[in-house]
Amino acid sequence: MSLDQMKSNKQKKKRNRFIFRTAILAVLVAAVVFALVSHLKEDNGGYKVGDKAPDFKLQQISQNHDAEAIQLSDLEGKGVMLNFWATWCKPCKEEMPYMQELYPEYKDKGIEIVAVSLDGTELVVDRFIDDYGLTFPILHDKTSEVRDLYKVVPLPSTFFINPDGEIQEVVNGALSLESLEGYLQEIQP
Partner 1 sequence: MNKVKCECGHVNPEGTVLCEACGKPIEGNQHIDGNEGNKLLNMRYDGTARRSQTYNKSIIDKIWSFFSSVKVGVWLIVIALVASMVGTIFPQEIYIPADAVSRDPAIFYEDRYGILGLIYYQLGFHNLYSSWWYMVLIALIGISLVICSLDRFVPLYKALKRQKAKRHETFLNRQRLYSESEQVTPDDIETVKENLKKQRYKITDENGHILAEKGRFSRWGPYVNHIGLIIILIAAILRTTPLMHTEEYVWVREGQQIVLPGTNGEYYIENKEFIMEVHDENDERFAQAIQQEGVVPSNFQTDIVIYQETNASVPGAEPELEPILEESIQMNKPAKFDRYTLYQSGYQVNEFTNMTFKVHETDDPEESSLGSFTIDLTNPDSIYELDSGFRVQVDQYYPDYILDNGIPTSETNFPRNPAFVLSVYPPESDTPEISFIGIGKNIDATGENEYKVGIEDFELHDVSGLTLRVDFTLPFFILGAAIFMIGVIQGMYWQHRRIWIHPKENGILLAAHTNKNWFGIKKDIEKSIENTPITMARDQQELDE
Catalog residues that contact partner 1 under the rule CB under 8 A.
Answer: 17-18, 21-22, 24-25, 28, 31-32, 34-36, 38-40, 42-43, 54-58, 69, 71, 73, 86-88, 90, 118-124, 126-127, 139, 141, 143-146, 148-149
Nearer to partner 1, 41 or 109 (CB): 41
> CB of residue 167 vs partner 1: minimum separation in angstroms?
16
Q: Residue 9 Cβ, how far from partner 1 at the closest point, in Å?
A: 10
How crowded is residue 25: how many other Cβ atoms within 10 Å of its Cβ? Answer: 10
Closer to partner 1 by Cβ: residue 126 or 166: 126
CB of 8 to partner 1, least distance (A): 14
Give the shortest CB-59-to-partner 1 separation in angstroms: 8
Q: Output the smallest distance, CB 134 to partner 1, in A.
A: 16
- Closest to 98 in 3D by CA, of 110, 139, 56, 85: 85
Complex with partner 1: residue 144 or 176, whichever CB lies closer:
144
Supply φ then ψ for residue 166, to 5 degrees.
-100, 150
Q: How far apart are CA 188 and CA 78, in angstroms?
A: 7
In this complex, which beta carbon is closest to partner 1, that of residue 32 or of residue 67?
A: 32
* 115 Cβ neighbours under 8 A, 6+ residues apart: 83, 84, 85, 96, 99, 134, 136, 137, 138, 139
Q: What sign does the dihedral 122-125-126-127 (CA atoms) show? A: positive
Cβ distance 62 to 100 under 8 Å?
Answer: no
User: Which is nearer to partner 1, 122 or 169 (by Cβ)?
Assistant: 122
